[in-house]
Amino acid sequence: MKQLMLGFLAFVLYGCGAETATTAATSAAIKKQEIIQGQKMQDDTKARIERSMSQTQQRTEKDSER
């Protein structure tokens, strides 16, 4: 009986550990995806800013030629 209880307890504790590991892995995957999306958003924003600055510079040069 004692061995059965110890076996059950070990099984329950193993289950908790597996659930914790799965939750941690899922959380890490979500964070990785958030980081990738954040980097893409940052790159897109930089590109838009650079295009805007270029257009502004072109307009300024065009206006100064007049």
Taking only the tens place, the pLDDT of each residue in 10-61 is: 766 666 666 677 788 889 999 999 999 999 999 999 999 999 999 999 999 8
Instruction: Output the CA–CA distances (angstroms, integers) from residue 37 to 33, 44, 45, 66, in the order listed.
Output: 6, 11, 12, 44
Whole-model pTM: value is: 0.59
CA–CA separation, 24 and 30 (whole Å):
10
